[in-house]
Copies of this chain bind each other. A is one copy, B any other.
């Protein structure tokens, strides 16, 4: 069972967790609001800008990009297709894969919306000093590494296949 972590948490830790949650949820909220001005939802805006930038994508690569399950993206594309924003095109070389392509309407909308998803987040970040940026990235990377190794530990444990030599991150 997961070790019980005594609640002697440093105040900074709570504040940091709070802040990260705030930043993340606020970015999503803002993207959503922006999208709504064009009759879109948040994920739909993300998909449109992604397709505009990268061209046609298979459903799986789309799900990878937006970090969602295939089944989730199927639904998003269903609704976008219903609205005439995208079209599904079966690949001729591999008839399992489906390419998602912007329709005329979708392309027009994409050009109209001059904003990246997570834009506010990004623009706030670019205002930081270079040294702050680098410092922030360094610390976050350290944090991520810790979480990743924690996760991998859990996974292998759950699978009964303890892997060795997986790079421990000792400070």
Q: What residues of chain A have their CB less than 8 Å away from a CB belonging to chain B? A: 1-5, 7, 9-10, 12-13, 15-17, 19-27, 30, 33-34, 67, 114-116, 118-129, 132-137, 139-144, 146-147, 150-151, 154, 169, 171
Excluding A16-B125, A21-B67, A120-B151, 11 further A-B contacts by CB distance (< 8 Å) are A5-B123, A7-B116, A12-B125, A16-B136, A19-B143, A20-B140, A21-B24, A30-B154, A124-B146, A125-B143, A129-B171
Task: Please state the number of chain copies in the assembly.
Answer: 2
A contact patch SS:
helix
Is the Cβ of B67 less than 8 Å from the Cβ of A122? no
Closest to A118 in B: B17
